[in-house]
Structure 1
Amino acid sequence: MVESIRSDIVAGILSEHAALPSERAMAEQYGVSRMTARRALEAIEAQGLAYSEDRRGRFVSPRRVRYDISERVSFAADARASGTDLEITVLRKRSIRADGALSAELSVPMGEELHEYTRLFRINGHPILIETEFVVASRCPDLLDHDLRQSTTQVLEQQYGIAAHTGDVVIRMCPIQPDEAAMLGLPPYQAGIELVQTIRDDAGQAFCLGRQIWRGELAEFSARAIVNR
């Protein structure tokens, strides 16, 4: 049963975002219990071949979005280069003051002005990730006046001469909180992937802290290890 569905997905018989059979339909088709059918569908999802949408069922996963963490990559530019239909929605943008955690991460004084913006990324109409970034305002005073529905990496480089040189990246599994889950079309507390990165310029000064929440079944991360002996 699992292998049959998997083969149909890999062969393209079931196309991207096509609805998978319900547990009841699976049970009737293969003559098994609904519990067995549920486990089969969960196995397909665990292999990254399907994703769930709250109250709507399971669907065939699209081609995974690859994110290279060897350097700070423009996700927007990469998505457009691959021929996908990328849409970025700015959910919020504002100026805030650095609290203790942000001042420590960005090595700025408490109360330093920061730009904060949150964006939702969709590919081919389907939500992929939510991103919130904090940027040191003194480095780019009018950043929030720019169109943030594009690569902010390019905006920082072209408008302010700020280029990413190094970064610290942490990736962890996390339960997606209800408000974020709703925007990603997921049930509350479903497992997702959290990526946090602190970006520094060529002088080693941190200028941006970013947090991304990914739908786990749609993401692929790559990295390059450098071993100093």
Structure 2
Amino acid sequence: MLPANIEIRDHLAHLIAEYNSGKVERFASGRLPSERELVEQFSSTRITVRDALSKLEAEGLIYRSNRRGWFVAPSRLVYDPSSRVNFYLLAAQQNKIPATQLLSQRCIKGPIEARDALGLGAKEKLIELVRVRSLNGRPVLFETIYLPEKRFPKLNKARLEGSLTTLMEEEYAVNISYEDNRIRVSAVYDQVAERLSLIKGAPCLEVTRIRYEGDQQAFEYDKEFWIHSAIELSIPSK
């Protein structure tokens, strides 16, 4: 006999598979029953139910929305890091609704790794942009972007909640020639976890990106934290 948490996990996983296939309308708007309702349904304890839900979350089958409950995770955004397709275009191609929230912007000296990657002089400053990006209303990406101030003058007056790639191409004549993407499994804490509605220490996909223009001149340094259940990497061989 399986442990109670595994039985609950397996039962809910089966219902989620049926919901995703369109066979049955098990959940209203993709929302799972509350933890209290699940406790009653399975004659179990809240600890056992939460453990089952945590397993489903770790597998990317469900996600938690603060103060709203648990929801069936939608299909993942398929993403090729080598393609250089901007977030808005990629989402539109996959019938998803993208949005961006600008949390802060400032001009600072910046972290040493960003300064070194962009080849800044001792007195040069960086523009730091902190943003959260969403798909269909669900926050899926927390990003911090560093740009050389002298390369992007008056950027603070531009609309920074849309596609930064398009803005740089149209307003600053940026022609992306190359990207260096470093991808690893990491964890989120503090502001990142809060903004993505994750518990502290939750796993994520961390992407460090350096963009180049012209003759390999670095112009952008990014640090991204993706919710692992929201993204699928697809890298075709060339």
Q: Which TM bucket (shorter chain)?
A: 0.7 to 0.9
Question: What SS does the aligned partner of 1:165 have?
Answer: strand
1:41 matches 2:36 = no
1:112 matches 2:124 = yes
Q: Which runs of 5+ in 2 are unaligned?
A: 1-10
After superposition, give the CA deviation of every residue in 1:102-160 in whole Å (9 maximum; x if it has no partner): 22111222332221111111222221111111112222212222111111111111111
Letter in structure 1 aligned against 2:210: T
Letter in structure 2 aligned against 1:7: A
Q: Give the superposition deviation at 1:73.
A: 2.1
Instruction: Please name the residue that 2:16 is paired with.
Output: 6
1:64 is matched with which residue: 40, 60, 76? 76
Question: What SS does the aligned partner of 1:189 have?
Answer: coil
For the residues of structure 1 that align with 2:191 and 2:13, how far apart are their CA atoms? Answer: 35
Q: Report the CA distance shift for 1:223/1:179 in structure 2 as closer, same or farther (over 3 A).
A: same
Say if 2:13 and 2:61, in contact at 8 Å, map to a contact too.
Answer: no
For the residues of structure 1 that align with 2:123 and 2:235, how far apart are their CA atoms? Answer: 34
1:122 is matched with which residue: 134, 144, 162? 134
What is the aligned-residue RMSD (CA, Å)?
2.5
Instruction: Please name the residue that 2:108 is paired with.
Output: 96
1:214 matches 2:226 = yes
For the residues of structure 2 that align with 1:158 and 1:166, how far apart are their CA atoms? Answer: 18
1:80 matches 2:92 = yes
How does the TM-score come out when normalised to structure 2? 0.82
Say if 1:67 and 1:75, in contact at 8 Å, map to a contact too.
Answer: no
Q: Report the CA distance shift for 1:99/1:179 in structure 2 as closer, same or farther (over 3 A).
A: closer
2:160 is matched with which residue: 148, 159, 162? 148
For the residues of structure 2 that align with 1:136 and 1:225, how far apart are their CA atoms? Answer: 33
Instruction: Please name the residue that 1:183 is paired with.
Output: 195
Residue identity over aligned pairs, in percent, reads: 30
1:196 is matched with which residue: 188, 195, 208? 208
1:223 matches 2:212 = no
